[in-house]
Structure 1
Amino acid sequence: MNASPFLRQQLLLVDDEEDALQELAELLEGEGFCCLLATSVKVALQQLTRHPDIALVITDLRMPEESGLALIRRLREHTSRQYLPIIVISGHAAAEDVDELRRMQVLGLFRKPIYHVRLLETLNTLFPQPILHVANL
């Protein structure tokens, strides 16, 4: 259940570690975001097809079948999604990964375990919370 009185953007979270995925989804849903989950690149691509209003992807870099890098490459090659903002999370990013991510214009790289405050600051800058107007009684 969403604790926030308003809904913000729809985010796609991609990570093969289901516990990490659930924890991140709970955090972001508590901030009003609607989170769709995917445990693989294949499922992530299906979610992106089904939900054209996804505003941002947060993906793990290292996953067993296909990497987050493969997902980003596919998105950057796809005309309708080539500018979709992407944040990468990883516990094991090599220097060449960082260079490749920079070339593919990802919004940020967050090391695992994720520093949630910094992630929320980034998302709040991108997607400011709507201001609720209260009528004077």
Structure 2
Amino acid sequence: MNAPALLRQQLLLVDDEEDMLLELAELLEGEGFTCFTATSVKLALHHLTCHPDIALVITDLRMPEESGMSLIKRLREHTARQHLPVIVTSGHADMDDVSDMLRLQVLDLFRKPIYHVRLLETLNNLFPGVVSS
């Protein structure tokens, strides 16, 4: 049973690959989340300004204009959003990236392609009772 739209947790999904973004949004909306999508850091920051109830960001690490790491750094510098949980997705994370993610308190790293069951388990731990698994 899906929660009414007003009670749903709001997620921001950021990825320059639109197919991946839409697939993930469809999965998560089917599990009871409200998803906002952004194909750039600039658009992600706009969504975060317009939707103060966003409870989690899931961002790709590597994007053409600005990286997901840049988005996370901006979040951590912004007083009102510095503790917002962030999950990173990437097909190309290296040890330096992982070190930066630990320093920036990233909640989790998912290698692409994303294993949906593991992602839903992570979200269920973060938002108990939302995921309908």
Q: Do Structure 1 and Structure 2 share a fold, with TM-score over 0.5?
A: yes
Q: 1:57 matched to which residue of 2?
A: 57
Counterpart Cα distance in 1 of 2:87 and 2:19: 19
Please list the CA deviations of residues 89-115 of structure 1 after superposition, one character each: whole Å capped at 9, or x if unmatched.
000001100000000000000000001
Counterpart Cα distance in 2 of 1:43 and 1:5: 28
SS in 1 for 2:20: helix
TM superposition score normalised by structure 1: 0.91
Identity of aligned residues (%): 75
Provide structure 1 residue ranges, at least 5 long, that are not aligned to the other structure.
Answer: 131-137
Counterpart Cα distance in 1 of 2:2 and 2:82: 32
Deviation at 1:128, TM superposition (A): 1.2
Q: CA RMSD in A?
A: 0.9
Q: 1:5 matched to which residue of 2?
A: 2
Counterpart Cα distance in 2 of 1:105 and 1:13: 18
Provide structure 2 residue ranges, at least 5 long, that are not aligned to the other structure.
Answer: none
Deviation at 1:5, TM superposition (A): 2.6
Q: 2:128 matched to which residue of 1?
A: 128
Q: Which has the higher contact order (CA 8 A, sep 6+)?
A: 2
Please list the CA deviations of residues 55-98 of structure 1 after superposition, one character each: whole Å capped at 9, or x if unmatched.
00000000000000000000000000000000000000011000
Give the length in aligned residue pairs.
127
Q: 1:40 matched to which residue of 2?
A: 40
Counterpart Cα distance in 1 of 2:70 and 2:2: 36
Instruction: Output the amino acid matched with 1:21.
Output: L
SS in 2 for 1:59: strand
Q: 2:111 matched to which residue of 1?
A: 111
Counterpart Cα distance in 2 of 1:75 and 1:5: 30
Matched, 1:26 2:26: yes
TM superposition score normalised by structure 2: 0.93
Counterpart Cα distance in 1 of 2:42 and 2:112: 23
Instruction: Output the amino acid matched with 1:61.
Output: L
Contact 2:57–2:85 (CA under 8 A) maintained in structure 1: yes
Structure 1 runs of 4+ aligned residues shifted over 3 Å read: none
Deviation at 1:129, TM superposition (A): 1.7
Counterpart Cα distance in 2 of 1:35 and 1:44: 12
